[in-house]
Structure 1
Amino acid sequence: MIILNKIILRDYQNTAIKNFINNNYIGLLEMATGTGKTITSLSCSNFFYRTKKSIFCVIVVPFQHLIPQWEEVLNNFGYKKIIKAFGNFKLYKDDLISTIDDYNYGLRNKVVIITTYNTASKKKFIKNIKNVKENLFGIFDECHYSGTKIYRNVLLNNYTGKLGLSATPLRWFDKEGTYIIKNYFEKIIFKFSLDEAIKKDYLTNYEYNPVLVNLTENEEIKYIQLSNAIRNLYLHIKIEENIKLEEELKLLLIKRSDLLAKAKNKIDILINLLKKEKDLSHTIVYCSKNQTKEIVRKISQLGIKTHEFIYTVSKNDREKILNLFVKGKIQILVAIKCLDEGVDIPSTKRAYILASTSNPKEFIQRRGRILRKSNNKIFSTIYDFITLPNPDFMKTEYSKYNKKILCKEMPRFLEFSNLSINKFEARSIMKGTLKKLNLSYLLYENPENIHLKEENNEKS
C-alpha cells in the first residue's frame, strides 16, 4: 500500500502507477467510471516529478465545469501554481507566458495548467506550450476526445510523459481516431473493469429494470420512411462520393435516432413509475434535447421537487443545484448529457434513462456515474426505457424494420443486464418480445457485434 500526501491508494491504483512508470511514463488507463482515475493520474504525475525533479503538467478535460473538480484534488498533490486556461486567451495569456518563463529559468519546478480540449487545440495555446523546455507531462481526461478530427492537434510531440484516461478509450466506429489514440499513448497499460470494481466493492451493485415502450403507429411509419431514405442514400453514396449526400445522410440518421429517443409514450410511462415510488430523493432522469422542460413540468405537478440540469445552466447555478440535490432538497434532476462525464454526485441512487445513443461510451460512463459509493447507499437502481416496434407492425413484412429498432437498443440492454443483480429477471422481460419478433438469438449475441452487423446490412 502506498500513502501519498495523506491519500491512501488502493491496490489496483498502485498497480496502474507501477505499469505507467515501467512503460517510461506513457500509456492509457482504461478504468471504470468512479474508480479513481483522477487520483491515479495525479499520483503518476508525482512519481514523474520525484524522478525528473521538475514537472510542467498540462491537464486537458472535456468541459469547463470539470476544471474546479480537478483543482480541488490538485491541492492535495503539492501543486501551488495552478493556471486555469479556457475561454478568452487574453484572460490567461500573461500568467501562462510568465509561468512558462519562470519554469524554463528554474524559478519554478512544479506547475500545472488545467484546460479544455477546445482551448488546448487552439494555435495560440499550442504555440506557448511548445515553448516548455523539459519534463512536459500531459494528462488527457476522457482521452477518447483526443481522437476526433478537431482535437487531434492537442497530442503534441514534446510531452515527455503522457497519460490517457477513460473508461472507454477507443472510439466507437472510428478506426482512424482509435488508431491515433493507440499510436500516441502506445498501449493500454492498465485495465480495471466495472465488473471488477463491483466485485471488489469499489462501486455499488445495481438492479436493472428494462422498461418496454412501443412506438405509436405514426412513429413506426415515420421510422420506416426514414430507414428507406437512409438505405437509398447509402446506395447512392456507394456509387458516387458526394459531400451533400453525406450531410443529408447524417441528418436522416439523427432524425431516426431522435424518433426512438423521443418516443411519445415514454413520458407518460415515466410519470406512472414515479407515482409508485415512495422515496424519490437522489434520482436522475436522462432525456432527449428539448424534453427537459416538459418533463420537469409534469414531475413538478406530482409535488416532487425537481430541476433541469442542462448546458445553459450557469456555473454558479449548477453548484447550487448539485448541493441541493445532494442534500435531498431537490429530489430529481432532469438532464440531457452534461452529467455523463466528470460530474461527481455519488449520492445518486436511481436513474431513469429515457434516451441514450447507441454509442457505448455514453451509456457505459453514465452507468458508472450512477454506481459511485456513498453513505447510506446500499445499491443503485436503473430504469432503462427500451423502444419497441408498434404492435400492429409486428408482422413478417416489417421484420427488417423491427430488427433494426431492436438492434439499436439491444447492445445497451445486454451490457446493463449482464452485470446486474437481477440479470435473469431482466432478460426474461425481453425474452417474450424478442420471441414474437423471431429475434430471440439477440439475447446471446455479443453487444459489440449487434450494431456493427446491422449497420453493415443497412449499407449493403
Structure 2
Amino acid sequence: MAVSNALRSINFAEEYRSDQGNIVGDFYVPSLKVSESYDRAVGYFTASVLSVIGEGIDEFARRGGLMRVVASPYLLPEDIEEIESGYSLRSVMEKAAVRDLERSVEDPRAARGLGKLGQLVAEGRLDFKLAYVTAENRVGMYHEKIGIFRDGEELVAFKGSANETRSGLVGNFESIEVFCSWDQRDRARALRIGRQFDALWEDRTEKLRVLPFTDAAKKVIERVSQGISELGEPDIFDYGGAPLTVPVQDSAGMLRIPAELKVREYQKKAVGNWFAQSGRGILRMATGTGKTLTALSAGAQAAKMLDKVGEPLLTVVVAPYQHLVDQWAKDIEWFGVSPIRAYESTTSWYGQASHLLDSLALGASRGGVVITTNKTFGDRAFQSILSRYSGRLLLIADEAHNLGAKHVSSKLPESAEFRLGLSATPERWFDDEGTSALTSYFGDVVFEMGIGEAIKAGALCRYTYTPVIVELDDEETELYVEITEKIARIFAAHQGSEQADEDSVLGALLRKRSNLLGHARAKLPALKKEIEKRQEDWYQLLYCAEGKHPLSYADGAPDEPPQIDQALALVGNELQMPAARYTSETKRPERRQVLQRFADRKLQVVASMRCLDEGVDVPAARTAYLLASSTNPRQFIQRRGRVLRQAAGKTMADIVDFIVVPPEGATGMRDTTERGMVARELARVTEFAHLAENEAETLDILRPLRIRYGLLDV
C-alpha cells in the first residue's frame, strides 16, 4: 500500500497544460506511483490510456491500488433509436460500452492496456460504472471530467478537459487544474470534488443515473487479456521533462485502399481522370457501378499523395439521408478509418469533430473523415466546423445533384481544394441554374459510365422489361387536363425560361401532375395480375407513389388510403405473400431488419416510395414494379439501377413498368395534351426498352399506342 502523506512529496503545479509541460509524465505517473486509490469520472474511458501511463499504473497495481471509474459510452444514433423505441436502457448502454472496449483491441497499445485492466478486474481492484443524463425523457452523455488520487491521509483532486483516452492525454491540447487537500487555499474544493465523486458513485446525483458495469466489462477484458502476452512488452516512453510524443500508426486517420478490394479498370480510369483535372470533377456513374468505392479510392490516393509531403487531409462526405451516412461509414471503416457521423443532435458529433480538427492541426493525426447529411451540412454548427479548418480538404458529394438547390449550394466550402461529385444523373430536372451551380463548384463531368456500358462490363446484370398500359379514369383525366393547362400558361408567360424550383408554382404543378399519374387507380388491379404471375418468386421491390391520390384532397371526396397501404393489403392479405414497407417513417433499426429479412428470404416483397431511390444497397432484388410513373429521368434511372446490382446466383432482373395513358376518346382532352402525355411516358419506356434483353417484344407491345397518337418517331 501507499506510504501516508506520500502525495505531499510531489511538487504539484496548480495547472497542467499541453503547452507548458507533460500532463502524463509530470502529473499522472508520479501520482499513481504513490496513491492507494484512484477515482475517475470522465466522458470517455478507453484501455489505451493505460499504455500511456503504463509505468505509474504498473506500480499502482503492484502495490494493490484500488480504482473506480465512472464513464459514459459513446452512443451511436441507432443506440438512441433503440432507447426511444423502448429497448432496455441498461442493455443498450452496456452494449455501447462493450463496443467501445472491443474497438480498443484494434490498437496494440490499447490491447496492452486491456491486459492491465484484466489484472485489476481479476483481483477485484477495479470497478466500472456507466453514467448518463436523464432529463425531459431524453438520454444524454455524462461529460464531466474529475479525478481524485488518495494516499490514505491526503487527496489530490483535479478537473479539466482531458478524457481518459490516449488521444485525450497525448494527441489533443488539454489542461487540468489541481487541488491539494493539505493546501488551505485548495482544501475545501479538493474535499468537495471528493464528495461529488462519492455521490456520483452511489447514484445520488440529481439528473444523473449510474449503472454497474464491471461484470459486463469483465467478460470482454478477460477474453482479450488471454492473448495479450503475444504482443510482447509495451513500448517504453520517455516520461522526463520533454513533451511526450507517441508514435502515430501509419494509418492514423488516412484512407487506405483495402488489399482485398479489386478495383475495376473503369474505376481506375475514373480516378485518373479526376486527378487529371486537379482533383475536381463529377463522376457520372450508373447506380450499382461502385461510385462509393471509386470515390474512397480517389480519397485514399489523395491522402497518400499529401502524406508524402507531410500534410494531413480532412475528408468530408455529404449524403442525402441518415441511412446513407451509415452505409458510407461501413465502407470507410473498410478503408481503415473510423469516421465521425455528423447528424441528429449536435452534441453527438460536434465535440468529436472539434477534436479531430485540433488533432490534424497539431499533427497528431494524418487524416480524418466526417460524414454528414445534406441537412446537417447546411446547418450553422457544421458550417462553423468547416470555417475553422484551414488545412487540405476533400469534399465528396454523394448524389451530388441534391446540392444544386440554392439553399445548399451557397454553403459549399470554397476552401475545399479537392472536390468530387457523384451522381448517375447530375443534371437537375427543370433547373438549369442549379445544374450550372453544381458544375461551377465541382467541375465538369470527368468520367461517365451509363447502364449499357455497366452491363457490358459485368458491373450490372441484364434485365427484361415489361410495360403494362393502364388508363386514367374520367375524374383523373379531367384533373390532368386542368393541371397541364396551368403548366402551359406558365411556360407561355415566361417563354419557357421558368425554373421548376421546389418552392415555385411550376414545380408544385409538375409534382402534382406526376403524383396523379403515379396514383392512377387502374394500376392496382393491373399490379395484382402481374404479381400473381410471380407469386412464388422472392426478392421483389414495389415502388409506390408518395402521399395520397390528388383527388382525395378535394372537398367532399372520400378518404382514399395511400397507394402503398392498398398495395401491401393486396400483396399481404389477398395474395398471402410476406411483405413489409420501407419508408422515411420506418425507424433505422427496423429498416435494417427489413432489408436483412428480404435478403434472408423471409420477405417476398418490400414496398417503398422514395427511400430506396438513392444509394440503398439491395443487391438481392430480382423484380421491380414501378407504380410511381415519374417522368423525372433521375428517379426512373435510379430505380432501374437498384434492381440491376450484381448478387450471388443472380443472372437476370425483371422490371415491370406501369404506363399511364388517357382513355380512348377522352372528353375535354385536346389532341396536343393527349399526345404530350403519351410522349412523356414513352420517353421513359424507350430508355428502359433500349437496353432490355426483350427489346423487340417490348416495342411490339407499344406499337399500337404509337400508331394511335402518331408517335412512331419517339
- TM-score, normalised relative to structure 2: 0.59
Distance in 2 separating the partners of 1:150 and 1:3: 34
Counterpart for residue 12 of structure 1: 266
Distance in 2 separating the partners of 1:279 and 1:237: 53
Structure 1 residue 75 displacement after superposition: 1.5
* 3-state SS of paired residue (1:280): coil
Counterpart for residue 335 of structure 2: 77
Deviations 1:389-448 (A, max 9, x none): 1023299x7311211221331221111111111111111111101211222222xxxxxx
Q: Which deviates more from structure 2 when the two are superposed, residues 266-275 or residues 19-28? A: 19-28
Structure 1 residue 163 displacement after superposition: 0.8
Distance in 2 separating the partners of 1:249 and 1:181: 22
Counterpart for residue 422 of structure 2: 165
Deviations 1:12-48 (A, max 9, x none): 1111122222222111111111011111111111111
Is residue 204–residue 371 contact of structure 1 (8 Å, CA) maintained in 2? Answer: yes
Q: Which of 430, 449, 453 matches 1:192? A: 449
* 3-state SS of paired residue (1:162): strand
Letter aligned with residue 64 of structure 1? Q
Counterpart for residue 368 of structure 1: 641
* 3-state SS of paired residue (1:8): coil
Q: Which deviates more from structure 2 when the two are superposed, residues 274-283 or residues 137-146? A: 274-283
Letter aligned with residue 310 of structure 1? T
* 3-state SS of paired residue (1:440): coil
Aligned residues: 435
Distance in 1 separating the partners of 2:505 and 2:417: 43
Matched, 1:24 2:296: no
Deviations 1:42-73 (A, max 9, x none): 11111111111121110110100111211111
Deviations 1:118-169 (A, max 9, x none): 1111122112112222111111111111111121134211112111111111
Considering fraction of residues, name the structure with more helix.
Answer: 1
Distance in 2 separating the partners of 1:372 and 1:281: 16
Letter aligned with residue 125 of structure 1? F
Distance in 1 separating the partners of 2:667 and 2:647: 44
Counterpart for residue 354 of structure 1: 627
Distance in 1 separating the partners of 2:259 and 2:699: 46
Distance in 2 separating the partners of 1:228 and 1:3: 55
Matched, 1:124 2:385: no
Q: For 1:34-433, list aligned pairs within 5 A.
A: 34-53=288-307, 54-80=312-338, 82-232=339-489, 234=491, 248-289=505-546, 290-300=562-572, 301-393=574-666, 398-433=670-705
* 3-state SS of paired residue (2:477): helix
Q: Which deviates more from structure 2 when the two are superposed, residues 263-272 or residues 401-410? A: 401-410
Distance in 1 separating the partners of 2:274 and 2:673: 47
Is residue 55–residue 135 contact of structure 1 (8 Å, CA) maintained in 2? Answer: yes
Counterpart for residue 59 of structure 2: none
Deviations 1:173-223 (A, max 9, x none): 211111111111222111112111101111111101110001112222222
* 3-state SS of paired residue (1:137): strand
RMSD: 2.2
Distance in 1 separating the partners of 2:485 and 2:430: 22
Deviations 1:250-305 (A, max 9, x none): 44433322221111110011011111224331001111123111110111121111
Distance in 2 separating the partners of 1:229 and 1:72: 47
Letter aligned with residue 336 of structure 1? M
Q: Which deviates more from structure 2 when the two are superposed, residues 16-25 or residues 200-209? A: 16-25
- TM-score, normalised relative to structure 1: 0.90
| Change in CA separation of 1:91 and 1:308 when aligned onto 2, cut-off 3 Å | same
| Change in CA separation of 1:76 and 1:440 when aligned onto 2, cut-off 3 Å | same
Distance in 1 separating the partners of 2:504 and 2:357: 43
Counterpart for residue 227 of structure 2: none
Deviations 1:293-334 (A, max 9, x none): 111011112111111111100000000011001111110011
Distance in 1 separating the partners of 2:410 and 2:280: 18
Deviations 1:89-123 (A, max 9, x none): 22222111121111111111121001011111112
| Change in CA separation of 1:413 and 1:111 when aligned onto 2, cut-off 3 Å | same
* 3-state SS of paired residue (2:665): helix
Letter aligned with residue 456 of structure 2? K
* 3-state SS of paired residue (1:333): strand
Distance in 2 separating the partners of 1:222 and 1:434: 24
Runs of 5+ unmatched residues, structure 1: 443-460
- CA radius of gyration, larger in: 2
Letter aligned with residue 17 of structure 1? V
Distance in 2 separating the partners of 1:249 and 1:172: 12
Letter aligned with residue 587 of structure 2? S
Letter aligned with residue 630 of structure 2? T
Counterpart for residue 455 of structure 1: none
Letter aligned with residue 136 of structure 1? L
Is residue 625–residue 656 contact of structure 2 (8 Å, CA) maintained in 1? Answer: yes
Distance in 2 separating the partners of 1:17 and 1:236: 45
Structure 1 residue 3 displacement after superposition: 7.2
